[in-house]
Structure 1
């Protein structure tokens, strides 16, 4: 199959064609030519789209699908189709299924189910058995079967010694250990950021301290053990400062931030809309500013959608009873592109996360394998239900003004467009 992409602006700092508008000829999944203008031939499939931009393929490091066990929320097939049309050539899938992905057979199940799709699926296996935080799971076996990291999704490891042992043990096979930043004793039964808004609304609060004290603990453990630690979806200004200090000390720590924490504050809670109930909770505008600065300064390594589909029976409830989570694949680019530069977004969703997780980032140049995202960064619109491709509709960005849309991807020798 031969594809000719016409008049595409290339956004790839590792490419000699960065910020240049070019035609790109692709033959059987390999870039054949990149030139100012390439003549169209009869057997070419031509891709010509309004204000077309291309970058290295986007990688979302925190995606939840329902399968196995919660297929009513999202199957693997549906989820990978949504990811492709949302611009993601790779996704790392969390272990929060039923049963939990905590053994090699479960890891292999995910990989086999994803075989043949344009978007690559990489399992993040559970760190502990059944994600209960008591006994460590079979980390080495799961790594050998294809797991790229280990995490109990949105569940903190309360046992200090267990986290210490995990950090030590994972070094034997270069494993990446996640630690969700939440101290359950301090967070208690809180459901919203502790502050002015939670007080006004009568919602039980989760103080920033619950996140920060857990990060401080994990950084002390990392300093003692060595190894690699990843702290997912941080949400406070102090968390950014703690991780900045740790990096300056030379600790091998990385972190991510979700799109909704970079854009939305706890001011959204005044309508008691459960789509804004997420974990960690939405914080303050001061925190948002610090998180955005963390991206710009390089302290924060990764932007993720933290896509978490929840069925209507568990989401359209009283705020205190609804499950945490928002879908995010479809809205990720449009939301972030409204508040950060295009270059910052691309770097933190392509080269930096792929390096951290040990994946190849194929630069856009001749003779390279094609793994690209196609998008328009200047399309302004209101995000409505008709834009949601996911089975579940629990989006925190419904009725928000977004800027920029993904057209689709070319990956694994497949062109997928909306």
Structure 2
């Protein structure tokens, strides 16, 4: 597709045109010219109000359901939703049926994503069927296109298995994703353990459930070497431990979910299961520590942790409802309410560097991998803004700042 994007302000601190308004010419998916004004000739043109452009964003944790749970979300509609939400890449979690634990399922989900503007990158399960007993076929999956290996929302209880896995993946430069949650400490807890859980009479999940497993995993990483990514941390002590591990030189990165940054357990007063997530929404003390961790660079990535859940498993008693919220559509607008634009863009792009080893530059000669947005518009997220098949959003009726127009990627322009 040949197009000239007009009057776009580039948001890219490494770019000579950073914070400058320019035209961008794209021919057959490649940026061929950037200038204050470009004669578009017979090219199509795109004008959008207060248009800003950054390198494309990547969501490091997305769950649709297909194969096996298409009633929650399909790959086709999910990738369209991701594109209209500003994401040119997504990391696709293995909690499908069958589980993404072998080369054939990796190839299947990739085939379903063909011809979409947003690229899908499978995460292979760390253990067979995500059961925590035997290592999966990680080498074969990486050759087929998996970008990392982890059991979604499941800690590896067998420390020796995690040790062996960390040693094994070093032969092919693989990354282990190690979710941290001690099920025995969590017990029957469903929300953060604290004042709110006591008032509501709900069983609490202490921060210790996350922190004790994180401490063990960091000790294992120090022993084995290799690369480890800790997804969706939620406590102040987790931030401190990862900061210390990085200072020691360990090759560890981490992410935080948008909802854990923006919301606290105070929203649980009406027992609304839209707010039941894993890890749980914590109190303001932990929320501020997470924000500080983003600002000082301890937290590498912000993810929507988009998890589609059908209404039958959400509209029920709080104790029985499944964990998870969709978040692609609301991620950008929610983040700009609490963080500066440059930080939001940096953290939404960071997963591309970590998992794909790709730069985010907007330069002549590079393939166009762009997100288009207006960072200033104020609005409220309503049911009409939900593009996902599932409607389990924690951000319904939440105030937003900044709207996403769409993306240009894989030689396709997708505008909402």
Report the TM-score, using the length of structure 1 for normalisation. Answer: 0.98
Equivalent positions of 1:91-102 (< 5 A) are 91-102=90-101
Could you say which residue in structure 1 is the equivalent of 2:72? 73
Please give the alpha-carbon distance, in whole angstroms, between the structure 1 residues aligned to 2:29 and 2:236: 43
For residue 25 of structure 1, report the CA deviation from its aligned partner: 1.0
Structure 2 alignment gaps of length 5 or more: none
Match of 1:29 in 2: 29
Name the CA distance, whole Å, in 1 between partners of 2:38 and 2:126. 50
Match in the other structure for 1:145: 144
State the alpha-carbon separation in 2 of the partners of residues 13 and 349 from structure 1. 14
Cα distance in 2 between the residues matched to 1:105 and 1:219: 32
Match of 2:378 in 1: 380
Instruction: Give 1:40 deviation, angstroms.
Output: 3.5
Verify the 8 A CA contact 2:68 2:97 in the aligned structure 1.
Answer: yes
Please tell me the root mean square deviation across aligned C-alpha atoms, in Å. Answer: 0.8
Q: Indicate conservation of the 8 Å contact 1:362/1:370, yes or no.
A: no
Partner of 1:119: 118
Residue 390 (structure 1) aligned with residue 391 (structure 2) = no
Partner residue in 1 for 2:255: 256
* Partner of residue 365, structure 2: 367
**Deviation at residue 319 of structure 1 after TM alignment:** 0.9
Partner of 2:300: 301
Structure 1 residues 322-381: Cα deviation after superposition (integer angstroms, max 9, x where no partner): 10000000000000011011111111111x322211332241111211000000111111
2:387 matches 1:416: no
Deviation at 1:223, TM superposition (A): 0.5
In the alignment, the residues of structure 2 paired with residue 155 and residue 47 of structure 1 have an alpha-carbon distance, to the nearest angstrom, of: 45
Task: Give the SS at the match of 1:219.
Answer: helix
Partner of 1:227: 226
1:10-409 residue pairs with structure 2 within 5 A? 10-41=10-41, 43-350=42-349, 352-409=350-407
Number of equivalent positions: 416
User: Residues 29-54 of structure 1: CA distance to partner in whole angstroms, max 9, x if unpaired?
Assistant: 1111111112232x222111111000
Q: Which deviates further from its counterpart, 24-33 or 121-130? A: 24-33
> In the alignment, is the contact (CA less than 8 A) between 2:352 and 2:359 conserved in 1?
yes
Deviation at 1:177, TM superposition (A): 0.1
Please report how far the alpha carbon of residue 23 of structure 1 lies from its aligned counterpart in structure 2 after TM superposition.
0.8
- Structure 1's unaligned 5+ residue stretches are none
Contact kept? 2:189, 2:204, Cα under 8 Å: yes
Partner Cα separation in structure 2 for residue 148 and residue 291 of structure 1: 26
CA distance in 1, matches of 2:62, 2:15: 28
Separation in 2, partners of 1:362, 1:292: 23
Maintained 8 Å contact 1:362/1:368: no
- Distance in 2, matches of 1:347 and 1:361, equals 11
In the TM superposition, residue 12 of structure 1 has moved relative to its aligned partner by 1.0
CA contact (8 A) 1:65 1:73 kept: yes
Deviations 1:128-149 (A, max 9, x none): 0100111111111111111000
Normalising by structure 2, we get a TM-score of 0.99
Q: 8 Å contact 2:57–2:352 — kept in the other structure?
A: no
Structure 2 CA distance for aligned equivalents of residues 129 and 276 of structure 1: 30
Could you tell me how far apart the structure 1 residues matched to 2:359 and 2:314 are? 36
